[in-house]
Amino acid sequence: MKKHLLVFIKILVFFALWILLIALQSIPGVGDPPFTMGNAAIQRFWWELLPLISVIIATLFFVKIIEKNGIKISLLNKMAKNSALGIFIGIEWIGIPLLILSIIGSFHFGTINSVPYLPVWIISAFLNVIMQEYLVRGYIFELLKKEYNLITSIIITTIIFTGLHGGAFEAGILAVLNVITMSVFMSLLLIYAKSLFLPIVVHAVWNIAGSLLGCVSLASDYPVLINCIIIGDKIISGGIYKLEGSIFVLLINIINIVAFMLLLNRHKRIL
């Protein structure tokens, strides 16, 4: 019981520290420094950078001070291999549902928009993904793995990840299931690669490609490069939530989960 309480307190304080650091953005000149004024892309970049810096500081404090380096977080292991594999998996992950929707006549490319500072928007979306994955599958995942096992780490971090995506509950059960299965999938990628970089790349491909195509929702100020149209039954098309509420994404998530569980079982990496 004492161990359970200690782990719970560590996770709670970790989040409290992260939130406290983010709250510093409200200090005049921190959240909206002069160099961001009048440029939406630079402003969004800054708004994504600050939470990432906050989670890095919170993680370093807990790993170095609280855990005394007793927990290791592998981030940059085999970057070239994980980058190539991550891009491939990410394209498959978002590409197959879009291909199916296209075949059945529910997905069409629309007009192309001009997006100033497009590389800055892409980098900003990438920073957001790093923050999400490092927050949930960094210190917390490794702490739970150390104190319990991989299965416990996957379950609890998935609960946390789903809770952080509260908008999915407004979108309906399919969107919630998509978030849950997506989180499990990312955790399996982490275990497979023994590096956080693989799920970061896969997650980034989904968010960046989906956002530019207008079929995945990020912050409301993110621009759409191609006005894609997804129509048809709500269960198939996702309705106003598009891919995030589509049953095809759920099916691909499940297939990916099963595939990597079989792969991990073959390599005896699931405890």
Residue 110 and residue 208: Cα distance in Å, rounded? 18
Handedness of CA 136, 139, 263, 204 (dihedral sign): positive
* Contact by Cβ (8 Å): 104, 222: no
Choose the weakest-confidence range: 46-60, 195-209, 229-243, 245-259. Answer: 229-243
Helix (H, G, I), strand (E, B), or coil: what is residue 138? coil
- The helix, strand and coil proportions of the chain, stated in percent and rounded to the nearest 5, come to 75, 0, 25
pLDDT higher at 170 or 62: 62
- The predicted structure's pLDDT at residue 270: 60
Residue 120 and residue 140: Cα distance in Å, rounded? 30
CB neighbours (10 Å) of residue 104? 12
- C-alpha R_g of the chain: 19
At residue 269 the predicted structure's pLDDT band, cuts being 50, 70 and 90, is: low
Residue 246 and residue 16: Cα distance in Å, rounded? 34
Residue 55 has pLDDT above 90, yes or no: yes
At residue 32 the predicted structure's pLDDT band, cuts being 50, 70 and 90, is: confident
Q: What percent of the chain has pLDDT over 90?
A: 76
Q: Cα dihedral angle (248, 254, 255, 260), rounded to 10 degrees?
A: 150
Residue 268 has pLDDT above 80, yes or no: no
The per-residue pLDDT of the chain, averaged, comes to 92
- The predicted structure's pLDDT at residue 75: 83
